[in-house]
Structure 1
């Protein structure tokens, strides 16, 4: 059950991450990363690995995008 919740949190974060790829919306990753971190914590408590892995991918994409835009130095 926790794995399904983690997947839903990851998909929710991914929905916010998609428009954040547009120019001038990169600041939205400051909201996406904490949401995905919550999903990662829930996924870490689950038996399955799919939700945890989805949230890890969303976090990595967000951090890389912030680094490219100068949000994280």
Structure 2
């Protein structure tokens, strides 16, 4: 059950991460990072790893995009 909840949180975060890749919309990643952290913690409490891995992947994408844009864009 926690794995499904973690996947749902990850899909919610995906709504912010995908547009955040577009130039000048990178600030959306600041909203995505806390959401993915919550999803990763929920995924770590689960016995399965799919939700955790999804959230960690989205977290890495959001952090890399923020670092490429200088943290703002």
Residue 44 of structure 1: how far off its partner (Å)? 0.5
Unaligned runs of 5+ in 2: none
Alignment RMSD (CA, Å): 1.1
Give, in angstroms, the shift of residue 30 of structure 1. Answer: 0.5
The residue aligned with 2:53 is 53
Q: Give the helix-richer structure, 1 or 2.
A: 1
Distance in 2 separating the partners of 1:45 and 1:6: 9
- Which aligned runs of 4 or more in structure 1 are off by greater than 2 angstroms? none
Q: Unaligned regions of 5+ residues in structure 1, if any?
A: none
More off after superposition, 11-20 vs 34-43? 11-20
Q: Which residue pairs with 1:16 in the alignment?
A: 16
Any residues of structure 2 matched to 1:1-73 within 5 Å, and which? Answer: 1-71=1-71
Q: Distance in 2 between matches of 1:27 and 1:13?
A: 13
Q: TM-score, normalised by structure 1?
A: 0.94
Deviation at 1:21, TM superposition (A): 1.3
Q: Alignment partner of 1:18: what SS?
A: helix
How many correspondences in the alignment?
72
